[in-house]
Every structure is written in structure tokens, then in C-alpha cells.
Structure 1
Amino acid sequence: MELRHLRYFAAVADTCHFGQAAATLHVAQPALSYAIRQLEAELDVTLFIRTTRQVSLTPAGEYLRAQAERILAGVDEAVDGVRRIAAGRSGLVRLGLTGIAAFSHLPRIARVVKRELPDVDLHIQSDMLTPGQCDALRAGAIDLGLLRPPAIGDDIETRVIDHEPLVLAVSADHRLAVEPVVSAVDLRNEPFVMYDSRDSAVNDAAMRTCRAAGFVPQRAHQATGTTVLLALVAAGLGVAVLPASVRALPLDGLVVRDLVDADTVEVALAWRRGVDNPVIAAVADTIAAAFETTAFEATAFAPAAQLGARFGDER
């Protein structure tokens, strides 16, 4: 049974008039009548009762009409779905995020993807370090990463979407907690709480800030993640220099202050080079647009078919 014959049958069944159906289908009436006869011969049934005055459905025709509506609706839905996927408007994208980004960046990401790409399912994997995200991208466990560069490996592409200033986190009873603004030189004799990863972009930025102020920070404690790090700071075991998005993580006993001469850290989208999934490209473009600033790179994302040629956690 040809799909064309089924559409012809449905048009006649809806109108019970060969002339009206032919006009709706933009085909000649003799060609339509011949196609219906072909369908009846193939099924070996009579679908229509034809008289000089009217056309009506037989019981077999009534049954086929109900089935044809279901089948044709399914075909139309499949065609629409295929086109949406090809256009990057539908599908699944797995997004990895750094620890703080889940609080500071994810709400905006989720809102904009839902608004601009309502048929895209966004699956979130949070609290992933930059090296872990890069490994997950290579393994195909995630499709996009929101991380802090540099990415690990030449096969990972990144695009910076945000620049964050560093801020100072101290305990509520710390001497600097009452200061509205702090300079890095004020931290010269302070013990620091830092991440335990040697690949931490945040640690590197904190070190640059301290060295520019003329000293090397005293690393008193190390933490595996942001939550533990902030808890150690709130307990008075040291100070921490962190991205400004840490303000999204309020904690009893913790105070965050501006650091006037601090460095900045980048937030970037990351993907595996060579990926040409249009849905991933569409989500990446949508996220980048939501965070667009003058600090963005001048180059734009490539078309979906060239994603691989154009496409890093707190640490």
C-alpha cells in the first residue's frame, strides 16, 4: 500500500466527494478515482459505495478511515520530528557543569534552553572538574561542558562565554569580614584554603593574584570540592580566593568581599572536536547568546554540520 494511496483515500473519506477531494489534493479527478480503484484492488475490498447522487464509506472503508488517520498522523509527526532534529530543534543534550556553575549559571541556561528550544531535553551532570569533563566529552558521556579553561587535550574545543572576577571568602568573625573592599596585599599573612587539584584554574588565578601583590599564598588546607572548601573557610581555617559566582552559595558563617586587584577566571563551553550533531550546536549557540558580553570571542559558532571545527569546574 502506497502512502500516496492512503492520503488519497483519506481525502475522499473526509469529503465523500471525489471532485472536492481531487481539488484539495491538487490532482485530476480521473487520476484520483483510478488510485482509489487500485487501493481497493490491492486490498480486495470495496471501500466506497458509489451512486450517481452520493459517495459513502462501506464498513471496511470506515475501519480504514480510522486507521488511516492514525497512520498519517504518525507519519506527519515523524517527518516533523526528523526535521526538528536536523535543524537542531529537538533531541537530547547532556551538559556537564562545574560545582559553582550549577548554582550561578545553570538557572539561566535552563531557562533559555526551555524558552528557545522547548523540544530539547537537557540532562545535567553537575560538580564535574575540568579534567573530568574533558574525559567525559571524549568518552561520549556528555555532549557539552561548562568548565573553566584551559581544557585538557587537543581534541577538546572551547568557547569562553563569561569572565568572572575573583572575590575573597572569609569567616564571619575574620578581621577582613567588616571591610567592604579588600586588596590582595591584605592577605599576605593569611592561611589559604585551596582546591586539591593541580589542574585547578581557580587555584592558578588565585596564585597569580597573590604573586602580583608580592607574595606566595600559604596553603594551609585543601578541599576536593567547593562545598567542603567553603565549610573550611566558614570554620575559620583560612581564607579563599574564588570566582564571584560563589556568592550564589550562601553559607552561615561565611562572608564574601570584593577583591579590588584580583585576577579573573573564564567560564567556557566545551565540546569534542569533530562532533557534528546539530542539536548540540543549537544548544551551544543558545547558551552562548544568553551570556553574550563584550568579552566574548569574536568568532561565531559554525553551522551545525561544521560543529567540530568550531566548538572547560571550578578548579
Structure 2
Amino acid sequence: MELRHLRYFAAVADTCHFGQAAASLHVAQPALSYAIRQLENELDVTLFTRTTRQVALTPAGAYLKGQAERILAGVDDAVDGVRRIAAGRSGLVRVGLTGIAAFSHLPRIARVVKRELPDVDLHIQSDMLTPSQCDALRAGALDLGVLRPPAVGEDIETRVIDVEPMVLAVSIDHRLAVEPVVSVTDLRNEPFVMYDSRDSAVNDAAMRTCRAAGFVPHRAHSAPGTAVLLALVAAGLGVSVLPASVRSLPLDGLVVRDLVDADTVEVALAWRAGNDDPVTAAVADVIAAAFAVEPTQAGAHASARYGDEP
């Protein structure tokens, strides 16, 4: 059974008039009549009763009409879906995020994708460090990453969407907790809590900040992620120099203060080099555009910032 014959049959079944159906299909009436006879011969049934005054569906024709409507609607949906996917307007995109980005970056990402690409579904994997995201991107387990550059390993491309200043996290009873702004030199003799990942971009920025002030920070404790790190700081076991987006995850017993002359860290979208999936590209474009239109404000508006983590 040809799809063309099914469409011809559906047009005649809707009107029960060969002339009207031929006009709606933009075909000659004899060609339409011939196509319907071909369909009837193929099925070995009579689909229409024909008289000089009227055309009516037979019981078999009435049944086929319902099935044809369902089949043709499914075909039209499939065609529309294929075209939307090819245009990057529909599909599934798997996104990884580092640390507290689920609290800071994700709300804006989810809002802009829902608004601009309503037929795209996001599958979120959070609390993934930059090295893990890069591995997952190369393995095809992720389509996009929200991470701290530089990317770890080869075949990963990045696009910076945000730059954050570093801030100081201390326990509420720490001597510096009462200071609205802290100088990096005040941290010279402090024990530090840092990430245990050797590829941590946040650690690197903290080290650069301290070295620029003339000292190397003393690492007293290491943590596998932000939640543990902040808990150690809140417990008074050390201080930590972190991206300003840490303010998006308040914790009892923790105080965050601005740092004078602190370094900055970037937030970037990442994807596997050579990934030509149009849906992934469309999601990356709308996210980047959203951050460009609404740039984050460090310090005074730090609670609205995105990203975190090594």
C-alpha cells in the first residue's frame, strides 16, 4: 500500500466526493479515481459504493478511514519531528554540571531552554567534577558540560559563559568573619581547606591568589566536593578561597566575604570535539546567549551567579 494512495483515499473519505477531493489534492479526477481502484484491487475490497448521485463508504471503507487518519497523523508527526531534530529544535540533551552549579547555573539554563526550545528535554547530571565531565563527554555519556576550564584531556571544546571573582569562606566564629572585605595577605598563616582533585581549576585560582600576595597557602584538609569542603570550613577546620557562586548555597555556621585583589575563575560550556548534533548546538547557543544578555554581577549580586567547583 502506497502512502500516496492512503492520502488519496482519506481525502475522498472525508468528502465522499471525487471532484472535491481531487481539487483539494491538486490532481486530476480520473487519476484520483484510478488510484482508488488500485487501492481497492490491492486490498481486494470495495471501499466506496458509487452511484450517479452519491459516493458512500462501505463498512470496510469506514474502518480504513479511521486507520488512515491515525497512520497519516503519525507520519506527519514523524516528519515534523525529524525536521525539528535536524533544525536543533527537538530532542534530548544530557548536561553535566560541577558542584553547586545545580543551584546556581541550572535555574537559568533550565528556564532559557524551556522558553526558547520547548521541545528539547534536558537530562541533568550534577556534582560532576571537570575531569569526570570531560571523560563523559569523550565517551558519549554527556552532550554538554558546565565546568571550570581548562578542559582535562583532548578532544574537548569549550565556550566561556561567565567569569567569577574568588571570595573567602570562613566559619562564623572566625576572626575574619566580622570583616566585610578581607585582604588576601590576612590569610598568610591560615590553614586552608581545598579540593582533593589535582586538576581543580578552583584550587589553581586560589593558589594564584595567594602567591600573588606573597605566600603559598597551607593545605590543612582536602575535600572531594563543595558540600564536604564547606562543612569543614563551617566546622572551623580552615578557610577556603572559592568562586563567588558559593553564596548560592548558604550553610549554617558559614560566612562568605569579598577578597581584595583576588583572582578569577571561568565557567564554560564544554562538548566533544566533532559533535555535530544540531540539538546540542542549539542548546549551547541559547545558554550562551542568555548569559551574554544577563551578565552576572560579582559581589553585590553574587547570590545570582552560577557555577562552582573544581
Q: What TM-score, normalized to structure 1?
A: 0.92
- 2:262 aligns to what SS in structure 1? coil
Distance, in Å, in 2 between the alignment partners of 1:77 and 1:264 is: 48
**Equivalent residue number for residue 89 of structure 1:** 89
**Equivalent residue number for residue 176 of structure 1:** 176
Shift of 1:247: 0.5
**Equivalent residue number for residue 301 of structure 2:** none
Q: 1:35 aligned to 2:35?
A: yes
Distance, in Å, in 2 between the alignment partners of 1:293 and 1:183 is: 32
Deviating more after overlay: 178-187 vs 225-234: 178-187
- 1:145 aligns to what SS in structure 2? strand
Q: Which amino acid aligns with 2:86?
A: A
CA offsets 1:100-142 (integer angstroms, 9 cap, x no match) = 2111101111111111111111111111111111111111111
Gaps of 5+ in 2: 296-306
Distance, in Å, in 1 between the alignment partners of 2:196 and 2:62 is: 72
Shift of 1:156: 0.8
**Equivalent residue number for residue 309 of structure 2:** 314
Shift of 1:19: 1.0
Given that residues 91 and 121 in structure 2 are in contact (C-alpha distance below 8 angstroms), is that contact kept between their aligned partners in structure 1?
Answer: yes
Shift of 1:161: 0.7
Distance, in Å, in 2 between the alignment partners of 1:202 and 1:115 is: 32
* Count of residues paired in the alignment: 300
- 1:286 aligns to what SS in structure 2? helix
**Equivalent residue number for residue 246 of structure 2:** 246
Query: What pairs with 1:9-158 in structure 2 (closer than 5 Å)?
Result: 9-158=9-158
Distance, in Å, in 2 between the alignment partners of 1:100 and 1:46 is: 67
Gaps of 5+ in 1: 296-311
Given that residues 168 and 258 in structure 1 are in contact (C-alpha distance below 8 angstroms), is that contact kept between their aligned partners in structure 2?
Answer: yes
CA offsets 1:78-114 (integer angstroms, 9 cap, x no match) = 1111111111111111111101211110111111111
Shift of 1:260: 2.4
Distance, in Å, in 2 between the alignment partners of 1:84 and 1:269 is: 23
CA offsets 1:236-261 (integer angstroms, 9 cap, x no match) = 11111000110111100001111121
- 2:112 aligns to what SS in structure 1? helix
Q: Which amino acid aligns with 2:181?
A: V
**Equivalent residue number for residue 260 of structure 1:** 260
**Equivalent residue number for residue 306 of structure 1:** none
**Equivalent residue number for residue 167 of structure 1:** 167
Q: Which amino acid aligns with 2:261?
A: D
- 1:159 aligns to what SS in structure 2? strand
Shift of 1:293: 6.2
Q: Which amino acid aligns with 2:258?
A: D
Distance, in Å, in 1 between the alignment partners of 2:144 and 2:189 is: 40
**Equivalent residue number for residue 281 of structure 2:** 281
Given that residues 245 and 308 in structure 2 are in contact (C-alpha distance below 8 angstroms), is that contact kept between their aligned partners in structure 1?
Answer: no
Distance, in Å, in 1 between the alignment partners of 2:3 and 2:156 is: 45
Q: Which amino acid aligns with 2:163?
A: H
Q: What TM-score, normalized to structure 2?
A: 0.94
Given that residues 146 and 313 in structure 1 are in contact (C-alpha distance below 8 angstroms), is that contact kept between their aligned partners in structure 2?
Answer: no
CA RMSD of aligned residues (A): 1.6
Distance, in Å, in 2 between the alignment partners of 1:136 and 1:273 is: 13
Given that residues 128 and 313 in structure 1 are in contact (C-alpha distance below 8 angstroms), is that contact kept between their aligned partners in structure 2?
Answer: no
Shift of 1:294: 10
Distance, in Å, in 2 between the alignment partners of 1:39 and 1:260 is: 81
Shift of 1:313: 6.3
Quote the sequence identity (%). Answer: 88
Change (3 A) 1:294 1:93: closer
Distance, in Å, in 2 between the alignment partners of 1:107 and 1:8 is: 49
Distance, in Å, in 2 between the alignment partners of 1:106 and 1:35 is: 55
**Equivalent residue number for residue 236 of structure 2:** 236
**Equivalent residue number for residue 299 of structure 1:** none
- 1:215 aligns to what SS in structure 2? coil
Q: Which amino acid aligns with 1:76?
A: D
